[in-house]
C-alpha cells in the first residue's frame, strides 16, 4: 500500500473548534494534496504543497509536509458547519504529478 497507518477515520467536533488531520505515506512524492469531498460531489482540491515546502496556508487552512517522516497534516481553524466533508490527502506516488493517489480519507462532522 502507498499509505502508512492513517489518520483517524472520523472526527466529530463543534463549530468554532480547530481540527488537525494527519496522513503518512510510504512512497516518494513530489507533491501532497489535500482534497475535500462533500456529499454527492467530486473532490475539490484545497491545498497543494510541494516537497520543497514545509507549510502552506490558504484562508483558515494550513497544510504541513515533513518529507523526512513522509507525513502531512491539514489544520482547519474556526471550523464551520459547512466544513463537514470527507478530507483526503493524496500524493503523486512519485509520478511527478501525472496522477493522484488518494488515501482513505477522514470524515469530519462539524456540528453547529
Partner 1 sequence: DSGVVQSPRHIIKEKGGRSVLTCIPISGHSNVVWYQQTLGKELKFLIQHYEKVERDKGFLPSRFSVQQFDDYHSEMNMSALELEDSAMYFCASSLRGGNSDYTFGSGTRLLVI
Per CB under 8 A, residues contacting partner 1 are 30-31, 33, 37, 39, 41-45, 48, 86, 88, 92, 95-105
> Residue 8, exposed/middle/buried by CB under 10 A (0-12, 13-18, 19+)?
exposed
Q: Which is nearer to partner 1, 12 or 14 (CB)?
A: 12
Nearer residue to partner 1 within complex by CB, 45 or 82: 45
Beta carbon of residue 1, minimum distance to partner 1 (angstroms, whole number): 11
Query: Which of residues 52 and 98 has its CB atom nearest to partner 1 in the complex?
Result: 98
Q: Which three cell numbers stand for residue 69?
A: 517522516
**Residue number with CB closer to partner 1 (49 or 110):** 49
Is residue 75 helix, strand or coil? Answer: strand
Q: List the beta strands (DSSP E) in 25-84.
A: 31-37, 44-50, 55-58, 61-66, 71-76
Look at residues 38, 44, 40, 41 and name the one whose alpha carbon lies nearest to residue 90: 44
Amino acid at each position: 500500500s502507498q499509505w502508512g497507518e492513517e489518520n483517524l477515520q472520523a472526527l466529530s467536533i463543534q463549530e468554532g473548534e480547530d481540527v488537525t488531520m494527519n496522513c503518512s505515506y510510504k512512497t516518494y512524492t513530489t507533491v501532497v494534496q489535500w482534497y475535500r469531498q462533500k456529499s454527492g460531489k467530486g473532490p475539490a482540491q484545497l491545498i497543494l504543497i510541494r516537497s520543497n515546502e514545509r507549510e502552506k496556508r490558504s484562508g483558515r487552512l494550513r497544510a504541513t509536509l515533513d518529507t523526512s517522516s513522509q507525513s502531512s497534516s491539514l489544520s482547519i481553524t474556526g471550523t464551520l458547519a459547512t466544513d463537514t466533508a470527507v478530507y483526503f490527502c493524496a500524493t503523486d506516488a512519485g509520478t511527478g504529478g501525472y496522477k493522484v493517489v488518494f488515501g482513505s480519507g477522514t470524515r469530519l462532522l462539524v456540528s453547529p
